[in-house]
Amino acid sequence: MSTRIAVAGASGYAGCEILRILLGHPAYAAGDIEIGSLTAGSSAGTPMAEIAPHLPELADRVIEETTPKVLAGHDVVFLALPHGHSAAIAEALGESVIIIDCGADFRLRDGNAWEKFYGSEHAGSWPYGIPEMPGHREQLAGATRIAVPGCFPTGATLALWPAVQAGLIDPVISIVSVTGVSGGGKKASVGLLGAETMGSLKAYNTAGRHRHTPEIIQNLSEFTSAPLSVSFTPVLAPLPRGILTTATAPLAAGVDAGKVRGVYRAAYANEPFVHLLAEGLQPQTQSVAGSNMCHLQAEVDQAAGRLVVVSAIDNLTKGTAGAAVQCMNLALGLEEQSGLSRAGVAP
């Protein structure tokens, strides 16, 4: 029997990206997975031909309402919903269904941090979906509940965990991430209009206010017992897709460029979706567009005594939908790379 998959929030950018990846999955081509119900909220009743003309294979499908009744009977359910909507659906569907939540609901282990940044009751935590973090691939294999990470924490965590784990830095970290507008979702928003974003850059949710800050701290805290300080600044740029993250921190005593390169090479030697660039090259968002890749550069600013790590990801792919499908592959026991491109689209 084929594995039946539903996508809740199928009208949004993340939901459509999940569907794009699933349509190219070898298990879909073989008939081993089947795309079942496609659901949303206000878009219910709208043809997919209108919502996602770039997905012609789904043109004759119609968006259904997101309810447990509609989602029941599927083997895998992707939830690409606003935060606060996943817990009730998960409870109604039962433990046998693999639920992969692309929202924030189950990412944080600290209930106080959740309530501070999200302003609602903490629903708990699920296995966390960055397989490249040591120990997480094992947690995700065969899991029936998975929390897909935030897009900013993905780029920041992949950039920094090797340095934190190896003690290359004093963990007083500054992170600046430049992001495309699709990270804000498909909802109508004046701040995301072309007239507001074209030809302009704008920092937002600064000085520790961004909701991804505690998630980044949580991830990096797995690799050190030392007090960890993270200053995170997101910057909105006139791009459809992509996140370019620059992370810096003071070097620990005795650390030089050779040691840094050695640590990063070893950390990612067997990771197909993380590429450490040759010295002298810098990550670019255009190089990872449409792919499940993270491109990295790790350098030493000797004069400043700081480590500088730059990462580039596609926020909709490795930052959300690609990570979700990567986690699905692990949960179902499929080859982890299945359906996920390592090649970007350039220019």
Q: Consecutive 10-residue runs of the chain (347 residues): their mean pLDDT?
A: 94 96 97 96 92 95 95 96 88 93 94 90 94 97 96 98 97 96 73 78 91 96 94 94 97 96 98 97 97 98 96 97 98 97 91
Question: How many degrees, rounded to 5, is the angle at CA 278 between CA 272 and CA 280?
Answer: 145
Count Cβ neighbours within 10 Å for each residue of 116-140 and write b for 16 or more, e otherwise: ebbeeebbebbbbbbbbbeebbebb
Find all residues with CB under 8 Å of 176, minimum gap 6, and list them.
Answer: 233, 234, 235, 245, 246
Is residue 64 within 8 Å of 32, Cβ to Cβ? no
The pTM of this model reads 0.94
What's the pLDDT at 203?
93
Q: Which amino acid, residue 138? A: E
What's the pLDDT at 192?
73
What's the pLDDT at 39?
95
Find all residues with CB under 8 Å of 267, minimum gap 6, and list them.
Answer: 161, 162, 165
C-alpha to C-alpha distance for 69 and 90, rounded to whole angstroms: 12
Is residue 142 within 8 Å of 123, Cβ to Cβ? no
What's the pLDDT at 60?
95
What's the pLDDT at 207?
92
Is residue 298 within 8 Å of 260, Cβ to Cβ? yes
Bridge-based pairing of strands 172-179 and 229-236 is parallel
C-alpha to C-alpha distance for 35 and 31, rounded to whole angstroms: 10
What's the pLDDT at 188?
66
**DSSP-based three-state secondary structure for 345:** coil
- Which residues are marked as active site? 151
What's the pLDDT at 330?
98
